[in-house]
Amino acid sequence: MFTGTTLYDTYSHFQGNLLWTHQGSVWALWRMRGLAYGLKSKRDRKTVRDLHKVLMQQLRGEAMIFGLTTAEGPAGVVRRMIEGVDLDEAPEWAAEVEATWDVLEDVPMGSRAFWMAVPLSNPGIKMITEPVKAGVRQAARATDLGRGLPSEEDIAFRMGQMREIEDFLPRSFHPRRGTVSDYVWIAHHSQTRGLAVDYSVPGSRMGVNESQDEETILQAQQGSVIPAPMLDEGAQSDETSKTVNVAKTRPVFKVTQPGSDESSYQTLLALSGTPSGGVEFPGSEYLARLDETGLEVDFVDRWKISSKEIAARKNRSASKRVNEQVDQREGDQAALGRSDLDRSMNQQQEFVAELGSTENEVEVEVTSIFAVSGADIASAKANAKALSQWFKNVFEYQLHMPIGGQEELWDSMQPGSVRNKLVRDYAQLTTSKNAASSVPMAMNALGDDVGMCFALNRSGGRNNIVIIDLEGASTTLEVSASIGIAGELGAGKSFCMKKIVGGVVDRGGSAFMIDHSDSAEWAIYSQSVVGSEIVDFKEPEISIDPLRIMGQLEGGEALQSFLAPLLSIDLRGVNGTALSELLDPEYLDKHNIGSTPQLLKHMLSDECEIAHAEEIGRSLRTFSQKKFARVIFDDSLRPLDLNARSIVAATRGVNLPTTDELQNEHLFKQLRLDKIFGRAVYALLAALGRRYCFADRSRLAIFSVDETHHVTGSPEGEAEIMTFIREGRKSLASVLLGSHDPEADFGSETLRGLIPTRIVMRHRDDALARKSLKWLGFSEIDDTFEDFVKELMEDTSPMTVLENGEDGVDENRRGEGFMRDSRGRPGRIQVLPPAREIRRIAAKASPGEDALREQAEMLAEV
């Protein structure tokens, strides 16, 4: 009825990524990284296919590609969030992590992991001796006549074979040698499909580490890590003696681990037919698109690869047999069968032509095997039926569920298994170009391994978490940790920025923010961030006078960069020379000048003998008397503490010149004083932000500017942003920019191009949508560009009529957008709100006095 004898009983020895079997075969296993695919252009997709083709052309004989689904629960996300963070020193982050666990409890998440297994050849005499040696080792173990391990000479030989293969594997797949833990994980996963008991994939941040692998090897040799499950073809054990025959007619496979009260019900399927006319590429990526099914589907692609010369000899023999069949047919029989024979001959001729199309082309026999599961027999069969229907509808491909062949297919999905008759029967004969068109190792991954929980990846059919590690971008990837976010008003841009800033500060970093909103929304948000300083230009209580907060040396330099644009001073002219003399640290110290008001008083006094100083002083006094300039010229305000964990400069009430006013000389000369001050003070804030973020190289600091054009609108401000992006990596300093129009507001083309992480949220304006997508990395000549424009405008956090009758965005659709991560991979995301209630409330942009008052009351309650 069923058996406890499994393929695992043939496993003989593990060494590194090598597996010896009692059948005499030795296998090598590599963990492979899928290639970014989902949102790529047609040209890029062909590149991914061609990399698979190159992989096949480098191999000869058999190979197995594993694409196995991996579940990630809240525990896995939490581990990634806390790695490298001392929670005793970051209590706010500990609270966010704890709340994140609760939020993600009911969110299904997972991804797909890839491996490649290759049997090493037994050349020459080893073809005979290896099976014999394997039998001797098995007998030695069975009779306790020693461990029956392969010799050191044999291990060295096999390691050499493995390295020869490894040297030819395309680096784009980032092949990493597997470990015993990988073999164990694959076996455990195969035995427990659908039971939600997967542990973390080895080699991941949460997986078994290398120091544990020696213990795993020993346990594996003793058979304690890979248990021999009970295998039940047709789930016959679920029936009585009277109904057992029913089980023999159903394509279901029951797997039960020793000592387990639960069983995994699985259905194994194999690709059995493709359209006679073939399928165009793109459009044939049936493995790359598996996650679109909405099902948990594992696959193994088994290849048998032959050189062009061997394939040609086989095809000559096949053609000869077809011709003989034609000659043997007579009369009506020949007329009836001729069409099938003609079709066969045409297919062979096409195959031969494809085989000869390039010098490196090879013959590939491909068997694609799939596994679905369910909580019981009915659900396993239903999932298998749904998968078959999806293949039929999307690709016009046929899947077959062999009754009585389920165990044979299940075995064929394990490393070390032989290429049995069923695998050979389902094999599709083709070339590497066509075989690669299924694109087995493709993924839609976004983000980093560890860091802050940022968003859900919505690029494919499986949810997985997008983690952002700004510190890792600088230290590991060696790129700028800077981020740019574009989107229309109300699309969630500021909300997204606040989430990032809060995460940086909670994890032990610091943040300097410029807030130009009339509602001072960032100042409100900062009330939820421990250790914040808020500079409110409208109702100031804190001074940003550079001399008071930075001292005479650094403060003098910062004040000079502020006063020059404020007073239109040419630093190379006589007034520029006078200003330099006045701000010389020795001069300031000599005259006991420690603030800008003291400097102004000195310039207007008889004590100052520097030529042109009085002229400069009179111009400066005009600004010092204005209310909007109190943050610089009021000594009664306490100075800003640059050691604060976060600083917000709420510049409400500060006006800036328009683009026309900056570009037209006659309009520039007529600028109002408040706009002149606004232009200069934004440059000063950028300089203060740079000083703040570059001061401590031991921790990450972020400079956040919403409505970026307020800073990049001046050459001085844009220069400061450029410094952040170009030099910030070495100092763990990053910049976070927000804008409606990245092309107009994110500075020069060079500056825009240097921002590695880019996020685009809803844009209903066609021109802005196109600009934003081009900045994201999409090209207007791409075949997918118009589709992305339509999606960004119409199906990204779309506006709709809510239940209360008002227009708005459904809560379940908030935060949607496109992202290009620090590795340049594009994808669709949905930004997750902060997990803690206080942060969710604080992060909301609430226009209107009533809404602001309600938000303040809610914050006070929390």
Counting the structural domains of the chain, the total is 3
Give me the percent of the chain exceeding a pLDDT of 90. 61
Of the residues 599, 617, 637, the one at which a domain ends: 637
Contact 141, 149 (CB under 8 A): no
Block residue for tokens 């900056």: 662
Which residues have C-beta within 8 Å of that of residue 61, sequence separation ≥ 6? 118, 119, 121, 304, 305
Question: How far apart are alpha carbons 498 and 521 in whole angstroms?
Answer: 10
- What phi and psi values does residue 532 have, to the nearest 5 degrees? -95, 145
Same domain, 714 and 616: no
Residue 336 pLDDT level (bands cut at 50, 70, 90): very low
The parent domain of residue 37 ranges over 7-72+109-307+362-442
3-state class percentages of the chain: helix first, strand second, coil last, to nearest 5: 45, 20, 35
Tokens matching residue 144: 């306790």
Is 153 inside a domain boundary?
Answer: yes
- Residue 334 maps to a domain: no
What pLDDT is attached to residue 465?
Answer: 93
User: Is 655 found in the same domain as 564?
Assistant: no
Q: Are residues 409 and 504 in the same domain?
A: no
DSSP tag of 84: T
Beta bridge partners of residue 15, listed in sequence order: 18
Q: How many CB atoms lie within 10 A of CB 335?
A: 10
User: Does 628 share its domain with 647?
Assistant: no
Phi-psi region of 213 (alpha: psi -120 to 50; beta: other; left: phi over 0): alpha
Give CA–CA dist 102/100, Å, rounded. 5
Angle (CA) 181-185-187 rounded to 5° is: 120
**Range with lowest mean pLDDT among 111-125, 213-227, 808-822:** 213-227
Q: Which tens digits make up the pLDDT trace of 395-405?
A: 999 999 999 99
Token code pair at residue 137: 């080792």
Indicate whether 560 and 696 sit together in one domain. Answer: no
- Is pLDDT above 60 for 238? yes
Assigned domain for 857 exists: no
Give the integer Cα–Cα distance in Å for 652 and 181: 58
d(Cα 7, Cα 635) in Å, to the nearest integer?
82
Q: In this predicted structure, what is the pLDDT of residue 210?
A: 41
pLDDT in tens, 682-719: 989 988 999 999 998 889 999 999 989 888 877 878 88
Check whether residue 172 and residue 266 sit in a common domain: yes
The reply to whether 496 and 564 lie within a common domain is no
Q: Is 552 among the domain residues?
A: yes
Q: Is residue 800 part of a domain?
A: yes
* CA–CA distance, 231 with 229 (Å, rounded to integer): 6
Is residue 582 located within the same domain as residue 700? no
C-beta separation of 687 from 544 below 8 A? no
DSSP letter at 10 equals G
Q: Is 372 helix (H, G, I), strand (E, B) or coil?
A: strand
C-alpha distances out from residue 639 to 514, 543, 579, 653, 692, Å: 17, 5, 23, 20, 14
Chosen domain end from 606, 637, 668: 637
**Any idea which residue has 């948000």 for tokens?**
525
- Asked if 54 contacts 359 with a C-beta cutoff of 8 angstroms, the reply is no
| pLDDT of res. 431 | 93
- Let me know if residue 461 belongs to a domain: no
Q: What does DSSP say about strands 542-543 and 452-457: parallel, antiparallel, or unpaired? A: unpaired
Bridge partners (DSSP) listed for residue 303: 63, 366
> Which of the residue ranges 95-99, 285-289, 578-582, 718-722 would you say has the lowest mean pLDDT?
718-722
Cα separation of 686 and 737, whole Å?
12
Q: Specify burial of residue 280 (Cβ count, 10 A radius: 0-12, 13-18, 19+).
A: exposed
For residues 424 and 857, give the distance between their C-alpha atoms in angstroms, rounded to a whole number: 70
For residues 567 and 501, membership in a common domain is answered with no
- Of 460, 427, 527, 564, nearest to 859 by C-alpha is 527
Which residue, 537, 533, 531, 517, is CA-closest to 844?
A: 517
Cβ proximity of 430 and 351 under 8 Å: yes
Mean pLDDT in residue range 337-357: 63
pLDDT at 350 over 80: no
The answer to whether residues 520 and 631 belong to one domain is no
Q: What pLDDT digit, counting tens, does each position of 378-437 carry?
A: 999 999 999 999 999 999 999 999 999 999 999 999 999 999 999 999 999 999 999 999
In this structure, the answer to whether residues 697 and 792 fall within a common structural domain is yes
Is the model more confident about 210 or about 467?
Answer: 467
CATH number of the CATH domain containing 824: 3.40.50.300
- How sure is the predictor about 127, in pLDDT bands with cuts at 50, 70 and 90? very low
Domain shared by 609 and 707, yes or no: no
Distance linking the first and last C-alpha atoms of the chain: 62
DSSP code of residue 33: P
Answer yes or no: is 179 within a domain. yes
In a domain, 102, yes or no: no
**Structure-token pair, residue 248:** 């023999």
Tokens of 142: 């069975």
Residues 93-105: tens digit of each pLDDT: 999 999 999 999 8
Regarding predicted confidence, which is higher, 328 or 692?
692
- Cα(259)–Cα(268) distance, rounded to whole angstroms? 24
Task: Show which of 384, 419, 442 is a domain's final residue.
Answer: 442
pLDDT mean over 738-759: 91
CA 481 to CA 475: how far, in whole Å? Answer: 9
What are phi and psi for residue 511, nearest 5 degrees?
-145, 140
User: CA 445, CA 70: separation in Å to the nearest integer?
Assistant: 13
Positive or negative: CA dihedral 827, 829, 834, 835: negative
Average pLDDT, the chain: 87
